[in-house]
Amino acid sequence: MELELKNDTLSLGQRLSRIFTNPSSVFVDLQRNHSWLAALLIISTISLIATLPLLSKMREFSILQLQRMPDNPALSSPEAINMVGTSAVIGTIVGALLTPLLFALIVALLLKLYNAFAGDKVQYRKLFSVCVYAYLPLLLSSLIALAIGLTTPVENFSNVSTSLNLLFPPDTYTFPAMLAAQINPFMLWSLYLAALGGAILMKNEVKKVGIYVFLVWLIYALVISYYSALKMSTMA
Protein backbone atom coordinates (compact mmCIF):
# COMPACT_ATOMS: atom_id res chain seq x y z
CA MET A 1 0.00 0.00 0.00
CA GLU A 2 2.85 2.40 0.85
CA LEU A 3 4.57 1.66 -2.46
CA GLU A 4 1.38 2.36 -4.39
CA LEU A 5 0.90 5.69 -2.63
CA LYS A 6 4.51 6.64 -3.33
CA ASN A 7 4.17 5.83 -7.02
CA ASP A 8 1.02 7.92 -7.21
CA THR A 9 2.78 10.97 -5.79
CA LEU A 10 3.93 13.43 -8.42
CA SER A 11 7.41 14.90 -8.42
CA LEU A 12 7.94 18.64 -8.63
CA GLY A 13 8.85 18.37 -12.30
CA GLN A 14 5.72 16.34 -13.03
CA ARG A 15 3.56 18.92 -11.29
CA LEU A 16 5.10 21.78 -13.23
CA SER A 17 4.61 20.04 -16.57
CA ARG A 18 1.23 18.40 -15.96
CA ILE A 19 -0.36 21.70 -14.98
CA PHE A 20 -0.49 22.33 -18.76
CA THR A 21 -1.59 18.86 -19.84
CA ASN A 22 -3.48 17.28 -16.93
CA PRO A 23 -4.04 19.90 -14.22
CA SER A 24 -6.62 17.82 -12.35
CA SER A 25 -3.95 15.24 -11.50
CA VAL A 26 -1.76 17.99 -10.02
CA PHE A 27 -4.53 19.31 -7.80
CA VAL A 28 -5.52 15.81 -6.66
CA ASP A 29 -1.86 15.28 -5.73
CA LEU A 30 -1.88 18.56 -3.78
CA GLN A 31 -4.62 17.13 -1.58
CA ARG A 32 -2.07 14.65 -0.22
CA ASN A 33 1.02 16.81 -0.34
CA HIS A 34 0.40 20.55 -0.57
CA SER A 35 4.06 21.60 -0.74
CA TRP A 36 4.52 24.84 -2.67
CA LEU A 37 7.80 26.53 -1.65
CA ALA A 38 10.05 24.92 -4.26
CA ALA A 39 7.53 25.64 -7.02
CA LEU A 40 7.17 29.27 -5.94
CA LEU A 41 10.95 29.74 -5.88
CA ILE A 42 11.29 28.28 -9.37
CA ILE A 43 8.42 30.38 -10.73
CA SER A 44 9.74 33.60 -9.16
CA THR A 45 13.26 32.91 -10.41
CA ILE A 46 12.10 32.30 -13.98
CA SER A 47 9.91 35.41 -13.76
CA LEU A 48 12.96 37.45 -12.78
CA ILE A 49 15.14 35.90 -15.49
CA ALA A 50 12.47 36.73 -18.09
CA THR A 51 12.60 40.36 -16.97
CA LEU A 52 16.35 40.97 -16.77
CA PRO A 53 17.04 41.26 -20.54
CA LEU A 54 14.37 43.98 -20.80
CA LEU A 55 15.55 46.20 -17.93
CA SER A 56 17.52 48.61 -20.09
CA LYS A 57 14.54 49.09 -22.41
CA MET A 58 12.23 49.53 -19.42
CA ARG A 59 14.52 52.25 -18.11
CA GLU A 60 14.62 54.07 -21.45
CA PHE A 61 10.87 53.71 -21.92
CA SER A 62 10.06 55.18 -18.50
CA ILE A 63 12.24 58.21 -19.25
CA LEU A 64 10.71 58.56 -22.71
CA GLN A 65 7.21 58.55 -21.21
CA LEU A 66 8.18 61.38 -18.86
CA GLN A 67 9.66 63.39 -21.69
CA ARG A 68 6.32 63.22 -23.48
CA MET A 69 4.69 65.05 -20.57
CA PRO A 70 5.10 68.84 -20.86
CA ASP A 71 6.52 70.83 -17.94
CA ASN A 72 7.34 67.69 -15.99
CA PRO A 73 9.36 68.59 -12.85
CA ALA A 74 11.04 65.19 -12.97
CA LEU A 75 12.99 66.42 -16.01
CA SER A 76 14.50 69.38 -14.21
CA SER A 77 17.94 67.76 -13.86
CA PRO A 78 19.94 64.77 -15.15
CA GLU A 79 19.95 63.38 -11.62
CA ALA A 80 16.16 63.41 -11.51
CA ILE A 81 15.94 61.68 -14.88
CA ASN A 82 18.42 59.04 -13.74
CA MET A 83 16.39 58.51 -10.57
CA VAL A 84 13.24 57.90 -12.61
CA GLY A 85 15.01 55.29 -14.72
CA THR A 86 16.49 53.59 -11.67
CA SER A 87 13.10 53.50 -9.97
CA ALA A 88 11.59 51.86 -13.04
CA VAL A 89 14.27 49.17 -13.01
CA ILE A 90 13.86 48.48 -9.29
CA GLY A 91 10.07 48.40 -9.61
CA THR A 92 10.30 45.94 -12.50
CA ILE A 93 12.60 43.61 -10.56
CA VAL A 94 10.47 43.71 -7.42
CA GLY A 95 7.34 43.16 -9.49
CA ALA A 96 8.83 40.13 -11.24
CA LEU A 97 9.74 38.56 -7.90
CA LEU A 98 6.59 39.36 -5.96
CA THR A 99 3.81 39.05 -8.55
CA PRO A 100 3.63 35.22 -8.38
CA LEU A 101 3.40 35.40 -4.58
CA LEU A 102 0.78 38.16 -4.60
CA PHE A 103 -1.31 36.29 -7.18
CA ALA A 104 -1.31 33.16 -5.02
CA LEU A 105 -2.10 35.10 -1.83
CA ILE A 106 -5.00 37.07 -3.31
CA VAL A 107 -6.64 34.32 -5.36
CA ALA A 108 -6.30 31.83 -2.49
CA LEU A 109 -8.03 34.37 -0.26
CA LEU A 110 -10.88 34.64 -2.77
CA LEU A 111 -11.19 30.86 -2.81
CA LYS A 112 -11.16 30.76 0.98
CA LEU A 113 -13.98 33.33 1.11
CA TYR A 114 -16.03 31.14 -1.22
CA ASN A 115 -15.14 28.09 0.86
CA ALA A 116 -16.55 29.78 3.96
CA PHE A 117 -20.03 29.33 2.48
CA ALA A 118 -19.74 26.25 0.26
CA GLY A 119 -17.96 22.92 -0.08
CA ASP A 120 -15.84 20.91 2.33
CA LYS A 121 -13.73 23.20 4.48
CA VAL A 122 -10.17 23.45 3.19
CA GLN A 123 -7.16 25.04 4.89
CA TYR A 124 -5.92 28.29 3.37
CA ARG A 125 -2.41 26.92 2.84
CA LYS A 126 -3.79 24.14 0.62
CA LEU A 127 -5.67 26.67 -1.51
CA PHE A 128 -2.49 28.76 -1.62
CA SER A 129 -0.54 25.79 -3.01
CA VAL A 130 -3.18 25.41 -5.73
CA CYS A 131 -2.78 29.06 -6.70
CA VAL A 132 1.01 28.82 -6.84
CA TYR A 133 0.77 26.18 -9.55
CA ALA A 134 -2.14 27.99 -11.20
CA TYR A 135 0.24 30.90 -11.89
CA LEU A 136 2.22 28.89 -14.46
CA PRO A 137 0.24 30.08 -17.53
CA LEU A 138 1.02 33.66 -16.49
CA LEU A 139 4.68 32.69 -16.26
CA LEU A 140 4.41 31.42 -19.82
CA SER A 141 2.99 34.81 -20.83
CA SER A 142 6.08 36.46 -19.28
CA LEU A 143 8.32 34.37 -21.53
CA ILE A 144 6.23 35.34 -24.57
CA ALA A 145 6.42 39.00 -23.52
CA LEU A 146 10.21 38.61 -23.28
CA ALA A 147 10.37 37.43 -26.88
CA ILE A 148 8.16 40.32 -27.99
CA GLY A 149 10.11 42.86 -25.94
CA LEU A 150 13.48 41.85 -27.35
CA THR A 151 12.28 42.65 -30.86
CA THR A 152 10.30 45.80 -30.03
CA PRO A 153 11.83 49.31 -30.27
CA VAL A 154 11.81 51.31 -27.05
CA GLU A 155 9.34 53.87 -28.38
CA ASN A 156 6.80 51.08 -28.97
CA PHE A 157 7.42 49.30 -25.68
CA SER A 158 3.84 49.87 -24.54
CA ASN A 159 2.91 47.21 -27.12
CA VAL A 160 4.80 44.52 -25.19
CA SER A 161 1.83 42.61 -23.86
CA THR A 162 -0.16 39.40 -24.22
CA SER A 163 -3.48 41.11 -23.51
CA LEU A 164 -6.11 42.22 -26.00
CA ASN A 165 -4.98 45.86 -25.97
CA LEU A 166 -2.70 44.82 -28.84
CA LEU A 167 -5.83 45.19 -30.97
CA PHE A 168 -5.83 48.94 -30.30
CA PRO A 169 -3.45 51.58 -31.69
CA PRO A 170 -0.53 52.50 -29.38
CA ASP A 171 -1.24 55.09 -26.69
CA THR A 172 -5.01 54.53 -26.79
CA TYR A 173 -6.51 55.21 -23.36
CA THR A 174 -10.25 54.89 -23.93
CA PHE A 175 -12.35 52.67 -21.68
CA PRO A 176 -12.54 49.83 -24.25
CA ALA A 177 -8.75 49.94 -24.65
CA MET A 178 -8.21 49.93 -20.89
CA LEU A 179 -10.62 47.01 -20.53
CA ALA A 180 -8.85 45.13 -23.31
CA ALA A 181 -5.60 45.63 -21.41
CA GLN A 182 -7.14 43.69 -18.52
CA ILE A 183 -8.18 40.78 -20.75
CA ASN A 184 -5.16 38.54 -20.88
CA PRO A 185 -5.88 34.98 -22.08
CA PHE A 186 -3.10 33.70 -19.84
CA MET A 187 -4.63 35.40 -16.80
CA LEU A 188 -7.98 33.80 -17.61
CA TRP A 189 -6.22 30.45 -17.97
CA SER A 190 -4.58 30.87 -14.56
CA LEU A 191 -7.88 31.86 -12.97
CA TYR A 192 -9.53 28.80 -14.48
CA LEU A 193 -6.81 26.57 -13.02
CA ALA A 194 -7.25 28.19 -9.61
CA ALA A 195 -11.01 27.59 -9.81
CA LEU A 196 -10.46 23.99 -10.93
CA GLY A 197 -8.00 23.27 -8.13
CA GLY A 198 -10.15 24.99 -5.54
CA ALA A 199 -13.20 23.01 -6.65
CA ILE A 200 -11.30 19.72 -6.43
CA LEU A 201 -10.06 20.45 -2.91
CA MET A 202 -13.46 21.71 -1.76
CA LYS A 203 -15.26 18.83 -3.52
CA ASN A 204 -17.45 21.41 -5.19
CA GLU A 205 -18.60 21.98 -8.77
CA VAL A 206 -15.96 23.56 -10.99
CA LYS A 207 -18.67 25.58 -12.74
CA LYS A 208 -19.82 27.24 -9.52
CA VAL A 209 -16.31 28.07 -8.32
CA GLY A 210 -15.34 29.25 -11.81
CA ILE A 211 -18.33 31.59 -12.09
CA TYR A 212 -17.47 33.09 -8.70
CA VAL A 213 -13.80 33.64 -9.57
CA PHE A 214 -14.52 35.14 -12.99
CA LEU A 215 -17.24 37.44 -11.64
CA VAL A 216 -14.79 38.84 -9.09
CA TRP A 217 -12.19 39.30 -11.84
CA LEU A 218 -14.74 40.97 -14.14
CA ILE A 219 -15.77 43.48 -11.47
CA TYR A 220 -12.10 44.27 -10.79
CA ALA A 221 -11.35 44.67 -14.52
CA LEU A 222 -14.31 46.99 -15.08
CA VAL A 223 -13.49 49.21 -12.10
CA ILE A 224 -9.77 49.45 -12.91
CA SER A 225 -10.48 50.14 -16.59
CA TYR A 226 -12.99 52.87 -15.81
CA TYR A 227 -10.72 54.74 -13.41
CA SER A 228 -7.67 54.30 -15.66
CA ALA A 229 -9.54 55.77 -18.62
CA LEU A 230 -10.91 58.57 -16.45
CA LYS A 231 -7.45 59.41 -15.11
CA MET A 232 -5.87 59.45 -18.57
CA SER A 233 -8.66 61.68 -19.91
CA THR A 234 -7.98 64.27 -17.20
CA MET A 235 -4.26 64.21 -18.01
CA ALA A 236 -4.81 64.71 -21.73
For residue 25, the SS3 value is: helix
pLDDT of residue 152: 87
pLDDT of residue 17: 96
pLDDT of residue 166: 84
Report residue 234's pLDDT band, with 50, 70 and 90 as the boundaries. Answer: confident
Crossing angle for the helix pair 124-134 and 37-51, to the nearest 10 degrees: 30
Return d(Cα 157, Cα 212) in angstroms, integer. Answer: 34
Which ranges constitute the DSSP H helices of 68-183?
Answer: 78-115, 124-134, 136-150, 175-182
pLDDT digits (tens, 9 = 90+) for 103-151: 999 999 999 999 999 878 999 999 999 999 999 999 999 999 999 999 9
Query: Of the ranges 49-63, 144-158, 160-174, 184-198, which is most confident?
Result: 184-198
pLDDT digits (tens, 9 = 90+) for 77-99: 677 778 878 888 999 999 999 99
Residue 4 has pLDDT above 60, yes or no: no
Report residue 45's pLDDT band, with 50, 70 and 90 as the boundaries. Answer: very high
Return d(Cα 181, Cα 175) in angstroms, integer. Answer: 10
pLDDT of residue 5: 40
Closest by alpha carbon to 177, among 158, 155, 153? Answer: 158
Evaluate if pTM is beyond 0.75. yes
